A and B are shown apart, each in its own frame.
Chain A
């Protein structure tokens, strides 16, 4: 067994050697531009891209013509959300999504909200200018809008109804296990809703959403369904038709392919349209301009092929490893809590809070093992994981969480090593923890007036 051990396969996965082998010719002799129509270099590159497109499509039960290559799932999420809002504006401007979505989805939505708000603020300035008969600055709006009761101003409300930028967004809560509440989803869809964006599987707690039910609701209500399928593909079955998905974000580097390449599935029947967010030479049927990253796309195709062929066996193996890990930890440690559901969960995911121990300190203790934590200390912000918080996990327990992401190349031996190391490290840190001592003495930690800082 070799150290360090990589057990952070939700962050990224290692490149499968078979993927690398498939890519190499395109990094050497077959370097052509897939858009070069008039020579053999171009044709070879194009053939590589088109073969990859077939494999990516086959993984999700799509037609190759429905695959748009992108630079990764962040771009795919941006393109799906902003592209739909831009194209379907005449129909509506409302999005429904989950509080536990990836930042690529949430921050795309937030930007659209901000754009709409900025436009409204401009209109308020103009309207106040009319009402006061003088030039009103942005700083004055807050006070003047109350004075002039803009909320009831019909002229302004008429203008706002004509706003052509941005969107309105509903962020749905999730249940304790991370699952969407389908009744809440139905209730959130209005006649202005054009898009529902809900992920296949969560990147922190591995919750697998009931995408078929979500897709059916969306289809029935006539709204588009975008699914960020990044974490689930190659781990759990997913088919665009079973899920009635209209747009699907995919990335190669979470399924043993290279980084910096992904795709957006865009349904053709019934046809879904999106406005591009990158303008240029009109590649990818005008939806995503830019010279294709041929070698990476070829690797993506190989990774998708392997994922499709090996998923069933791999999922079983990962689930067995995961069970071994959880049982091992439970047998050696008390006071640990699994975050998320054990029923609808990615096979390789385990997210555990080790009470009274802080996640970053724990990661420092197990420095030969790469995992991640929902602790604030591991992020730039001081807030612990928003995903865990949305699932109702207390802040202190969110600070104590560790995410294990088992993948294709992890072994039983590695799992056993990690169990042992975790048990020792948690034990050592608990001996150092005032909270553990107090809990052992039977002191209710919630009864203490802590000094928040």
Chain B
């Protein structure tokens, strides 16, 4: 299968690979996918008390398109509010990377990862508030 230039670019020079401290109350961690399915994404967002995403890091087990999708969303979410980031859809990701139909699930996973990370952050915040 031929990959789009953007997939190759993200795959070869992935942005924001790494780990944030998951114990940090301002870090939300989303871990989605399954090893048995061949892709697992971990997206971590550092979110200010005002709800602005200051940093994003990912690690992904998966094909080139999965790696590219996660790399792309780390760039997209930075500087956005949690609400803005929550509206990023898999369609936008797939379009940006020109993913073929068999790779759409990679973009779905990236969308899920954002939502899961925000969810985790909100849970932490709620727990703190109590």
Contacts and interface: CB of A to CB of B under 8 A. Distances in A.
B35 A435 contact: yes
Interface in B90-112: 102, 105, 108-109, 112
Interface residues of B, number: 31
Interface in B1-59: 3, 8, 11, 14, 17, 19, 31-42, 59
A450 B38 contact: no
Nearest to B102: A380
Contacts of B77: none
Contacts of B31: 434, 448
A358 B19 CA distance: 20
A380 B38 CA distance: 14
Contact of A434 (B14, B40, B102, B108): B40
Interface in A382-441: 382, 384, 394-396, 399, 431-437
A21 B67 CA distance: 46
A76 B36 CA distance: 35
Contact of A376 (B17, B38, B108): B38
Nearest to B41: A434
B64 interface: yes
B61 interface: yes
Contacts of B64: 360-361, 364
Contacts of A436: 61
Secondary structure call for the B interface: mixed
B62 interface: yes
A364 B37 contact: no
B89 to A, nearest CB: 16
Interface string A351-383: 000001110110010000000000111001010
B63 A395 contact: no
B60 interface: yes
A450 B61 contact: no
Contact of A394 (B8, B19, B33, B36): B36
B35 A395 contact: yes
A435 B36 CA distance: 12
Contact of A453 (B37, B59, B102): B37
A450 B36 contact: yes
B111 to A, nearest CB: 11
A67 B68 CA distance: 51
A445 interface: yes
A69 to B, nearest CB: 34
A453 B33 contact: yes
A451 B32 contact: yes
Given A364-B64, A434-B41, A450-B40, A445 B35 contact: yes
Classify chain A: how many residues form its interface, as a range. Answer: 20 to 34
Given A434-B40, A437-B19, A358 B62 contact: yes
A377 B59 contact: no
A450 B35 contact: yes
A452 B34 contact: yes
B26 to A, nearest CB: 20
A445 B40 CA distance: 11
Contact of B61 (A433, A451, A453): A433
A348 B33 CA distance: 35
Nearest to B60: A432
Given A358-B39, A375-B38, A450 B63 contact: no
Nearest to B3: A364
Given A399-B38, A434-B31, A434-B40, A361 B11 contact: yes
B103 to A, nearest CB: 8
A364 B11 contact: yes
A361 B38 CA distance: 11
B23 to A, nearest CB: 13
Contacts of B8: 364
Contact of B60 (A377, A380, A433, A448): A433
Given A358-B38, A361-B11, A453-B105, A432 B59 contact: yes
Contacts of B19: 437
Given A432-B14, A453-B109, A377 B63 contact: yes
A435 B40 contact: yes
A145 to B, nearest CB: 36
B40 A375 contact: no
B63 A361 contact: yes
What are the 5 closest A-B residue pairs judged by CB atoms, nearest first?
A450-B34, A396-B35, A395-B36, A434-B42, A399-B38
5 contacts: A360-B63, A361-B63, A431-B17, A434-B41, A435-B40
Interface of A: 356-358, 360-361, 364, 375-377, 380, 382, 384, 394-396, 399, 431-437, 445, 448, 450-453
Interface of B: 3, 8, 11, 14, 17, 19, 31-42, 59-64, 66-67, 102, 105, 108-109, 112
Given A358-B39, A434-B40, 13 more contacts: A361-B64, A361-B67, A364-B3, A380-B102, A384-B38, A394-B36, A434-B41, A434-B42, A450-B34, A451-B34, A452-B34, A453-B37, A453-B105
